[in-house]
Amino acid sequence: MHIRTLTGGLTAALMVSLTLTGGQAVAAAPDAADAPLAARVLTYDAGGSAEFRSAVDRGAAIWNESVDAVELRPAAAGQRANIRVLADNGWPRAQTTTLGNGTVYIGRQAVQQGYDTIRISAHELGHILGLPDRKPGPCSSLMSGSTAGTACTNPYPNAAEKAEVEGNFGGLLADRTPATIPAMIVD
């Protein structure tokens, strides 16, 4: 989100820059092709996430801090969400329907084994954003999931994971239907 704000500010500054022609100030016309695309907004409903609600909100905030092309927001009351987040007694998993849409399960089994709830939330949201598991992997890779071990509490995507999400959503326009990618990913 930080780059989007910076880019928007620079674009605004360029739009109001003035050139003098014939002693008169004339506003420079912005080039529509150079205007930054707005982030694709995806909503999530964490109403069924029980004791993991704050971890889900933090996981979404981490993605918002990390990428510019997509923004995760809580769904408004009565609004149909792109992402449903539920707590259950199984292992954490994500079921995608299309890119940016699906259901995340925050499984208590992993939490009981000592895995970090914020890392679980950010990891499962990563699947909805189009990222696969990268197992085995180091703690520095969010999508390494459980293979990083219970001592790993890193909830942040690495540079490659950020770039992949930017690529997945960077070219999508708000009115374009994303590709279908049905899958159940159990971590």
The answer to whether 178 and 100 have CB atoms below 8 angstroms apart is yes
Q: Indicate if the alpha-carbon torsion angle 94, 80, 64, 46 is positive or negative.
A: negative
Active site residue 124: yes
| CB proximity list for 20: less than 8 A, separation 6 or greater | 26
Spell 24-56 as b/e; 16+ CB within 10 A means b. eeeeeeeeeeeeeeebbebbbbbebbeebbebb
Spell 141-174 as b/e; 16+ CB within 10 A means b. bbbbbbbbeeebebbebbeebbebbbebbeebee
Q: How far is CA 159 from CA 36, 37, 66, in A?
A: 21, 21, 9
| CB proximity list for 152: less than 8 A, separation 6 or greater | 116, 119, 139, 144
One of 51, 65, 124, 161 is an active-site residue; which one? 124
Catalytic residues: 124
